[in-house]
């Protein structure tokens, strides 16, 4: 059996969380068109006849360390490289960015085998450009393998998975074969609510809100979930609630359906919106809201 951990890294929005979900054929990590959707490190575990791959989805690496939340995201991304066996570096199409140099340096320091996965190839028209790009990539960094993929359309994901198994050490399973993530249902429920908020709200708002599960009760045939949506200002509270509560109602319905699908059970979901100013710039407030891995 080949077993080990694989870190999925890259700039925000390249498709790391989408890739993990599609490799697992299950939605474990939340995704959206907005950068910084993923705030927590999360494991996705895939067991097959070849062995077990433990994928680590990470918040994207950033330049700015201005706020406490950004510092937290950066730390999480850095510590990811400790104790993993293989790194998959995702790019969004055939472009290098100034930003990628920072990741090169981090990878060099880590000294791990790195696979370059060029994602979103469904959007690339000129396939010949791929070869030139790969030749150039080999000059920039000693990649173990280069593979074009589409996480969204499941293109080449089986190829990527096989390359990963080839690079993993022979050892016993790290997790029980039926386990798919290291996170609790409570955590996943909070993340699903945050996904719906992120997808529905304007560009600025999502970074300034967080979701806390106040109570999670399991009854026969029904899970009751009571959640608080924390925002920074009263004006944001009004946006989240929406006209006559319409926005909050829609978010609640969408989240409930996703949670029901995930835990395969009926769910009663109650959402409150509360104001707590300055939370994203205050480490203590972050801890109290569960940002403590």
Binders of ligand GDP among 84-123, rule CB under 6 A?
Answer: 119-120, 122-123
210 lies in the site for Mg ion, by CB under 5 A: no
Shortest CB 16 distance to Mg ion, Å: 5
- Cβ neighbours around 124 below 10 Å, total: 15
| Residue 96: both structure tokens together | 């290098």
Residue among 20 and 45 whose Cβ is closer to ligand GDP: 20
Identify the residue among 6, 28, 38, 289 touching ligand GDP (CB under 6 A): 38
Query: Mask 1-30, x = binds ligand GDP (CB under 6 A)?
Result: -----------xxxxxxx------------
Q: Which of 133, 105, 102, 256 is nearest to 189 (CA)?
A: 256
Residue among 64 and 243 whose Cβ is closer to ligand GDP: 64
Q: What is the rounded distance in angstroms from the CA atom of residue 109 to the CA atom of residue 81?
A: 10
Q: Which of 52, 98, 59 is nearest to 79 (CA)?
A: 59
126 Cβ contact list (under 8 Å, min separation 6) = none
32 lies in the site for Mg ion, by CB under 5 A: no
| Residue 126: both structure tokens together | 């000129």
Q: What is the rounded distance in angstroms from the CA atom of residue 157 to the CA atom of residue 169?
A: 20
Binders of Mg ion among 34-53, rule CB under 5 A?
Answer: 38
Residue among 89 and 165 whose Cβ is closer to Mg ion: 89
148 lies in the site for ligand GDP, by CB under 6 A: no
> Which residue is at the shortest CB distance from ligand GDP?
15
Pairing of strands 210-219, 222-231: antiparallel
Identify the residue among 28, 56, 151, 259 touching ligand GDP (CB under 6 A): 151
Shortest CB 47 distance to ligand GDP, Å: 22
Using the CB atoms, write b or e for 3-20: b if 16+ within 10 Å.
bbbbbbbbbbbbbbbbbb
Q: Tell me the DSSP string of 212-234.
A: EEEEEEEETTEEEEEEEEEESSH
3-state DSSP call for residue 146? strand
Residue among 191 and 273 whose Cβ is closer to ligand GDP: 191
| Residue 250: both structure tokens together | 């829609």
Identify the residue among 6, 14, 15, 17 touching Mg ion (CB under 5 A): 17
Residue among 39 and 186 whose Cβ is closer to ligand GDP: 39
- The C-alpha angle with vertex 80 and arms to 74 and 86, in degrees rounded to 5, equals 135
| Residue 13: both structure tokens together | 């929005």
Residue among 16 and 22 whose Cβ is closer to Mg ion: 16
Q: What, of ligand GDP, Mg ion, none, does residue 256 touch, CB below 5 to 8 Å by kind?
A: none
User: Which chain residues interact with Mg ion by CB under 5 A?
Assistant: 16-17, 38
User: Which chain residues interact with ligand GDP by CB under 6 A?
Assistant: 12-18, 31-33, 37-38, 60, 119-120, 122-123, 150-153
């Amino acid at each position: 059996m080949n077993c080990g951990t694989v870190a999925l890294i890259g700039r925000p929005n390249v498709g790391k969380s989408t890739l993990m979900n599609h490799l697992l054929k299950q939605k474990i990590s939340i995704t959206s068109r907005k950068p910084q959707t993923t705030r927590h490190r999360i494991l996705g575990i895939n067991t097959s006849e070849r062995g077990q791959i433990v994928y680590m989805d990470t918040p994207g690496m950033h330049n700015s360390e201005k706020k406490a939340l950004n510092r937290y995201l950066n730390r999480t991304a850095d510590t990811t490289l400790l104790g993993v066996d293989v790194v998959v570096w995702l790019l969004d199409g055939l472009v290098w960015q100034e930003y990628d140099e920072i990741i090169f340096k981090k990878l060099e320091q880590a000294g791990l085998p790195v696979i370059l996965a060029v994602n979103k190839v469904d959007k690339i028209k000129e396939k010949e450009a791929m070869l030139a790009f790969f030749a150039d990539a080999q000059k920039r960094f000693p990649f173990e393998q280069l593979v074009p993929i589409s996480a969204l359309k499941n293109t080449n994901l089986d190829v990527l998975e096989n390359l990963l198994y080839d690079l993993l050490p022979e050892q016993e399973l790290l997790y029980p074969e039926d386990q798919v993530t290291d996170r609790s249902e409570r955590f996943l429920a909070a993340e699903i609510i945050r996904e719906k908020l992120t997808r529905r709200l304007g560009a600025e708002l999502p970074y300034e809100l967080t979701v806390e599960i106040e109570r999670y009760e399991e009854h026969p045939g029904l899970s009751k979930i009571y959640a608080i949506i924390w925002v920074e200002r009263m004006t944001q509270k009004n946006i989240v609630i929406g006209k006559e509560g319409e926005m909050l109602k829609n978010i609640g319905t969408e989240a409930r359906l996703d949670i029901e699908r995930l835990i395969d059970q009926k769910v009663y979901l109650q959402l409150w919106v509360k104001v707590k100013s300055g939370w994203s710039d205050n480490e203590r407030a972050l801890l109290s809201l569960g940002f403590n891995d």
